Amino acid sequence: MTSASGLFYKKSGREGDVMMPEILQDKVYKGTTTVGVVCKDGVVLATEKRATMGHFIASRKAKKIYRISDRIAMTTAGSVGDAQFLVRLIRVEMNLYEVQKEKKPNVRAVATIVSNLLNSTRYFPYLVQLLVGGVDEEGGSIYSIDPIGGAIQESDIVATGSGSPMAYGLLEDSYSPDMSVDEAVELAVRAVYSATKRDSASGDGMDVVKITQEGYFEISKDVVDEIISGLRK
């Protein structure tokens, strides 16, 4: 089935359903590696910086981790335009939440708001897969959210994007629920680095953040490079 724009649509099993363009079906999770680690004293989120258009490297400085609240962040995989628009929209929703509730949202509330936003456009969804992670009064937590709003709380490790199979191999082998947040930083860096060695759509450095009850901290390039240099020996 085609639209007036010429996009091919996948036939639905239910009459009256609006369908997603078939040309986009295989492009939702492409071209990135993001990692989340839940540890005993916080969470760590890490991404690489490469943005691709098919086989073309469009940018080597793409931002894929966004601070949403004081101790909550979101990683993005998928369409850059969709991700950037969602970040702006979610930040507005967070401001409204604080005004209406007279308190800052916890991680579950942010994940629920993001999930509802994505689900409201499920027939032509934002082409993204997101991780929402942070620390609140209940401790550290990370939620994985798919393009149509399905949200799953991850209790330990999670990876998204085209490099996630390689990242999972290292995460599952080395993760321990008793590890410190600094040990989790090293694990996340190692996982993303391993993905960049095999996934052509991932690479060009990393952004890494750790979030604890003390605050939100961006890991410096020097620290990341030191961890990577140890892997090369």
Residue 112 is among the residues annotated as catalytic for this protein: no
Gap between the terminal Cα atoms of the chain: 55
Which residue among 2, 32, 47, 76 is the active-site one? 32
CA distance 10 to 63: 32
3-state secondary structure of 36: strand
Residue type, 171: L
Residue type, 226: E
Measured in residues, the chain has a length of 233
| The two three-digit tokens of residue 232, written as one number | 């090369």
CA distance 157 to 175: 8
CA distance 202 to 198: 8
- At residue 81, φ and ψ (nearest 5 deg) are -60, -45
CA distance 146 to 32: 15
Residue 223, H or E segment? helix 221-232
CA distance 32 to 57: 12
3-state secondary structure of 4: coil
List, by residue number, the catalytic residues.
Answer: 32
